[in-house]
Structure 1
């Protein structure tokens, strides 16, 4: 018998014994004195800035819930499994450690493995699990047999909008005269990981379908990249209307921008995700002015969604810094679990908790959260969680699209 199978049997035996004990006990408590919430996070490695945000957001929610009395007199504790560089071995080790703890009754993450293979571990262990990234991979795993994966739900909607909406956004700006109607050339740079490649491939397909010429199509190895000059030389040799980099690591994206600014071309620059991380502006300073990025599941900080400002203000008050996407996302995730736990009534009744998670319908910082039962992804759209475009000016992130939520308008990037 493998160690994993043995751990799983021991866990089930312990859970069964606990349930039997509780059934005979006169106490009103639903489970042990402490209910543990497991967190998979890259606390070390190139994505550590995101991992720190996960931990802060989840801990803020737990502190808040404990201060309000916990659940049936029980308190919550955060237990972290460091996935480090997100390699399969490190993710597996962290997953098995959390699943091997009988007091862990819920596991969450922003992203852990990027391919999300750990969803199968959660399904086998019957562990409630909520993640917040790489939704294409989540859909590919769950959609063929959604009934098999009652465990697992994504706070992030389908990535289809990432694949298409940058093209729509750029063409709308050109039509409105906000950027030049150039020669319809685009340079697309990506990183060799599931998230970045999925998005870049989708973008290339959509741009090509709209009659654009892809003048630069480059992919770099996943991990730290400090020198982008050979790729940027190709960009400068045949100047495109749009330059896109889908590498999501803030350090890499910042290096790309800083080196682009050594000799900028009159191109609209779009960077995927990384500018949403506070570290990005620290690394790029004034070079970040004008940069455009988009988010699915990012905070919808608009008067139409006061929840985002409320949670953002709490985060800044507690930690003395702005939250990126994942601080708020993990805060909301823990509250989704807590709502489900109240509905289920017992932390050890994982089936009831998982069912209650799937029935979620509430307003969160990113919009209205409701899950698609066919894919277990959050529903996407202006009435649910919209794709949002932001532009950075003087360190501030201005929501510029969609129009009904916008807090400002697109302005030409300084080098254009």
Structure 2
């Protein structure tokens, strides 16, 4: 994050503390975020969204005699050592009574640290790993809940979405060949492996299957040469880092094939469009837990407008999500009363049932994941044109229709 933003947030927190009534406690909310490293654009979103919710609450006079302050632990490159260091520092602060993240370790091993410390914790991303940890013994993890629903839809729904477009005459699938590129991290690999299995079950042929090391990737041309040598109907890249995804698209468009291009998550981050400009027109991606900006969910537009008014930029997926997660905590604290009564706070979080930017948030007690589906948090498909994200599926929420990608015409 630019230094002036850090100074602004620090000044805001200081002014809020000075304005607190005499004798009021300052409750710290611990945020795990990659403020430095390849995912820093997301880390900045985490911090801005959480800070916005805190600033609003403090401006309203606080809650139960308490004001709030954000304490940030930088997980940097998301390595186990850096995540552990950030977790231990925040857990070691007795003023921290709630923690959250968009994502920290990707394997989510820190859930066990939160359970041991009896620290209320809400995270997003890599929900398969969250489920694997919690589902065998959910009662042992009263601490921890996932904003994101099951990733099963990520694994299964892209082939069906594309085949529906073909059935409607909007795309051509002459070969039923697919090229899948992934990054060596828990998020990207889980999704790509699920996609490969689903495409195979539907009779597709996998022509390119590539895994790149996790971290910055600037040259995709060797992989793209393989794609051009046996042109597929669909090209998929599940690398979630916006810089990597942008360079992949830019290099694909140096000599594009008439293939539908799907990029996982990265196009939802504003940095992606900044790096690709008009070249991003037509790109498709999907989201679980992303903003559901539609007349049927006015909450999403309301929060997006607050974010832009506060920071002068539009939020990606995580800015508005972290804003909502902090407000889930505030709702729970209203019920629990005492921020130090972590058991009561955790019980209140478990009982959450509210409309959010992503849809209706209610947790599955068996997995502690947000419930998924059109009546809860749906899997949404977006397409970019003119730098704007257009919601094209599911039909119940769509605000726009799919348009052919420019390089396929």
Q: TM-score range by the shorter chain?
A: over 0.9
1:77 to 64, 69, 72: 69
- Partner-residue secondary structure (3-state), 1:270: strand
Deviations 1:357-381 (A, max 9, x none): 0000000000000000000000000
Q: C-alpha separation between the residues in 2 aligned to 1:101 and 1:357?
A: 22
- Residue range with higher mean Cα deviation, 174-183 or 160-169: 174-183
Match of 2:375 in 1: 383
Q: Which runs of 5+ in 1 are unaligned?
A: 1-28
**TM-score after normalising by structure 2:** 0.94
Q: C-alpha separation between the residues in 2 aligned to 1:239 and 1:107?
A: 46
**TM-score after normalising by structure 1:** 0.92
Deviations 1:118-169 (A, max 9, x none): 0000000000000011000000000000000000000000000000000100
Q: Which runs of 5+ in 2 are unaligned?
A: 1-20
Q: C-alpha separation between the residues in 2 aligned to 1:291 and 1:404?
A: 21
Q: How far does residue 33 in structure 1 lie from its aligned partner after superposition? A: 1.4
Q: How far does residue 32 in structure 1 lie from its aligned partner after superposition? A: 5.9
- Partner-residue secondary structure (3-state), 1:415: helix
1:140 to 122, 127, 132: 132
1:123 to 115, 120, 129: 115
Any conservation in 1 of the 2:24–2:65 contact (CA below 8 Å)?
no
Any conservation in 2 of the 1:175–1:181 contact (CA below 8 Å)?
no
Higher-Rg member (1/2): 1
2:243 to 235, 246, 251: 251
Please list every run of at least 4 consecutive aligned residues from structure 1 whose deviation after the TM superposition is greater than 6 angstroms: none
- Residue range with higher mean Cα deviation, 175-184 or 40-49: 175-184
- Partner-residue secondary structure (3-state), 2:295: coil
Q: C-alpha separation between the residues in 1 aligned to 2:85 and 2:285?
A: 34
Deviations 1:197-253 (A, max 9, x none): 000000000000000000000000000000000000000000000000000000000
- Partner-residue secondary structure (3-state), 2:376: coil
Deviations 1:159-203 (A, max 9, x none): 000000001001001111100131100000000000000000000
Match of 2:10 in 1: none
1:96 to 67, 88, 100: 88
Match of 1:411 in 2: 403
Any conservation in 1 of the 2:64–2:334 contact (CA below 8 Å)?
no
Match of 1:109 in 2: 101
Deviations 1:299-345 (A, max 9, x none): 00000000000000000011000000000000000000000001001
Match of 2:3 in 1: none
Is 1:271 matched with 2:263? yes
1:337 to 329, 343, 362: 329
2:298 to 306, 309, 314: 306
Is 1:286 matched with 2:313? no
2:209 to 177, 194, 217: 217
2:386 to 391, 394, 406: 394
Any conservation in 2 of the 1:362–1:368 contact (CA below 8 Å)?
yes
RMSD over aligned Cα atoms: 0.9
Any conservation in 1 of the 2:24–2:67 contact (CA below 8 Å)?
no
Match of 1:18 in 2: none
Q: C-alpha separation between the residues in 1 aligned to 2:178 and 2:269?
A: 25
Q: How far does residue 404 in structure 1 lie from its aligned partner after superposition? A: 1.0
